[in-house]
Amino acid sequence: MKTGLDRLLSDPALRAELKGRRVALLAHPASVTADLTHAIDALAACPEITLSAAFGPQHGMKGDLQDNMMETPDETDPVHGIPVFSLYGEVRRPTGQSMQTFDVLLVDLQDLGCRIYTFVTTLLYVLEAAAEHGKTVWVLDRPNPAGRPVEGLTLRPGWESFVGAGPMPMRHGMTLGEMGHWFIDHFKLDVDYRVIAMEGWQPEAAPGFGWPLLERAWINPSPNAPNVSMARAYAGTVMLEGTTLSEGRGTTRPLELFGAPDIDARAVIARMQALAPQWLEGCVLRDCWFQPTFHKHVGQLCSGVQIHVEGPHYGHSVFRPWRVQALGFKAIRQLYPDYDLWRDFPYEYAFGKLAIDVINGGPGLREWVDDAAATPADLDAITLPDERAWIETRDPFLIYR
């Protein structure tokens, strides 16, 4: 399997198209070649390519900052001497000044296949800026480690945010290169856009189902994305960021588990299994204990639920992380009706709205959890049409069949 970056580096004809043009790179720590050379170093070593600038998304080019709304400043690359503009600092959209530093922007970001992962929105913002300033954008495509499955409610009008670029479900099942084609069509952008497609990516093939296991090393695209299991669970567990429950930040398995000091994880799992066993296919839930070293419930012993989606426990075609996590909330709400579940704080620059609603692109999920009479069938009734519609909407933009 070759990524877009590896294809560009190995194809003289592709590199020749960049000769004489100022090239910028949007990248992060996972922007590496097959031999783990970072894209900025690999591109700088190409005599045909003149690197004039770089951009970093959330968590920065270094990927060092842990949490949401921790901003990265602009800097100068200490090795190559080019400006590195932060797209998660004083601004989240490229400025006119930064857009004048290049002719072609190469976007090389490892995504997780989830609407809320901010690299998706950053791609939209750079496409909009490129359309405004007459610049060219190439996406050097990478695998979607969560594969092709689609799940979740579609973002509702008026709920657009930095974690909700447009009307797509939580788990979109596209690569960033494919998503760029959809953005251009949906938002009617006039931009010179190209995808340097992967070779040999097989999103339905075992055992990786989206990630080329045994072919590519996993590099964290963000600090709390440590492995493929997290990527598979993330479209559900990311909702924990909008709750008072720990999502495992401050442990070695972030966003693969949830818990708190004041819940009984065994009782939660039992209630989940009683409510909707059909939503728990493709994974195994195990009760566990953990003590976060930072973030929510720091230093406190938490009773937790770990979602296992590796090895024989994983059923790619049936695992539905968004429903698994929704069911966890529902079980807690039934077991502890007055539990202070929803965290009220500014989330990703969306002020005046509950974080759980910003994350879900509307209040539908929270309202279902809090409605004592609402059943799993009720959530399916509003979600399944959204999922079917997205599968049809995205189809013309899929590159890898």
pLDDT in tens, 51-70: 999 999 987 777 666 556 56
Q: Are residues 215 and 286 in the same domain?
A: no
Domain count, the chain: 2
Q: Are residues 302 and 357 in the same domain?
A: yes
Query: Predicted confidence band at 89 (pLDDT cuts at 50, 70, 90)?
Result: confident
CA distance 314 to 323: 15
Task: Examine residue 375 and state whether it is found in any structural domain, yes or no.
Answer: no
Average pLDDT over residues 375-385: 98
Average pLDDT over residues 323-331: 98
Q: Work out the mean pLDDT of the chain and round it to a whole number.
A: 95
Q: Which residues pair with 339 in a beta bridge?
A: none
The model's pTM: 0.95
Predicted confidence at residue 323, as pLDDT, reads 98
CB 170 within 8 A of CB 235: yes
Q: Are residues 205 and 128 in the same domain?
A: yes
Predicted confidence at residue 67, as pLDDT, reads 59
Predicted confidence at residue 79, as pLDDT, reads 93
Average pLDDT over residues 369-398: 98
Q: What percent of the chain has pLDDT over 90?
A: 91
Q: Are residues 155 and 298 in the same domain?
A: no
Q: Which residues pair with 304 in a beta bridge?
A: 259, 288
Which domain CATH number covers 289?
3.90.1150.140
Q: Are residues 234 and 307 in the same domain?
A: yes
Residue 384 reports pLDDT greater than 90? yes
Residue 318 reports pLDDT greater than 70? yes
Task: Examine residue 376 and state whether it is found in any structural domain, yes or no.
Answer: no
Query: Predicted confidence band at 88 (pLDDT cuts at 50, 70, 90)?
Result: confident
Task: Examine residue 382 and state whether it is found in any structural domain, yes or no.
Answer: no
Residue 352 reports pLDDT greater than 90? no
Q: Are residues 36 and 108 in the same domain?
A: yes
Task: Examine residue 378 and state whether it is found in any structural domain, yes or no.
Answer: no
CB 364 within 8 A of CB 326: no
Predicted confidence at residue 64, as pLDDT, reads 62
Q: Are residues 201 and 233 in the same domain?
A: no
Task: Examine residue 387 and state whether it is found in any structural domain, yes or no.
Answer: no
Q: Are residues 185 and 273 in the same domain?
A: no
Q: Are residues 352 and 283 in the same domain?
A: yes
Tokens of 104: 């072609």
Q: 3-class DSSP state for residue 74?
A: coil
- Rounded to a whole number of angstroms, the distance between the first and last alpha carbons of the chain is 15
Ranges assigned E (strand) in 132-251 = 136-140, 192-196
Predicted confidence at residue 70, as pLDDT, reads 64
122-162 pLDDT, tens digit per residue, is 999 999 999 999 999 999 999 999 999 999 999 999 999 99
Q: Are residues 243 and 177 in the same domain?
A: no
Of 19, 21, 38, residue with least CA distance to 30? 38
CA distance 62 to 264: 38
Of 43, 41, 72, 39, residue with least CA distance to 223? 72
Higher-pLDDT residue of 321, 313: 321
Q: What are phi and psi of 258, to 5 degrees?
A: -150, 155
Task: Examine residue 386 and state whether it is found in any structural domain, yes or no.
Answer: no
219-268 pLDDT, tens digit per residue, is 999 999 999 999 999 999 999 999 999 999 999 999 999 999 999 999 99
Alpha-carbon distances, residue 71 vs 87, 91, 206, 254 (angstroms): 9, 9, 38, 21
Task: Examine residue 120 and state whether it is found in any structural domain, yes or no.
Answer: yes
Average pLDDT over residues 345-368: 89
Task: Examine residue 358 and state whether it is found in any structural domain, yes or no.
Answer: yes
CA distance 24 to 80: 12
Predicted confidence at residue 308, as pLDDT, reads 98
CA distance 62 to 221: 10
Whole domain around residue 138: which residue ranges? 4-222+392-397
Predicted confidence at residue 68, as pLDDT, reads 60
Q: Are residues 313 and 206 in the same domain?
A: no
Query: Predicted confidence band at 118 (pLDDT cuts at 50, 70, 90)?
Result: very high
Predicted confidence at residue 60, as pLDDT, reads 74
CA distance 12 to 279: 49
Residue 357 reports pLDDT greater than 80? yes
Predicted confidence at residue 385, as pLDDT, reads 98
CB 26 within 8 A of CB 108: yes
Which domain CATH number covers 135?
3.40.50.12170
Q: Are residues 164 and 30 in the same domain?
A: yes
Locate tokens 């879900």: which residue? 360
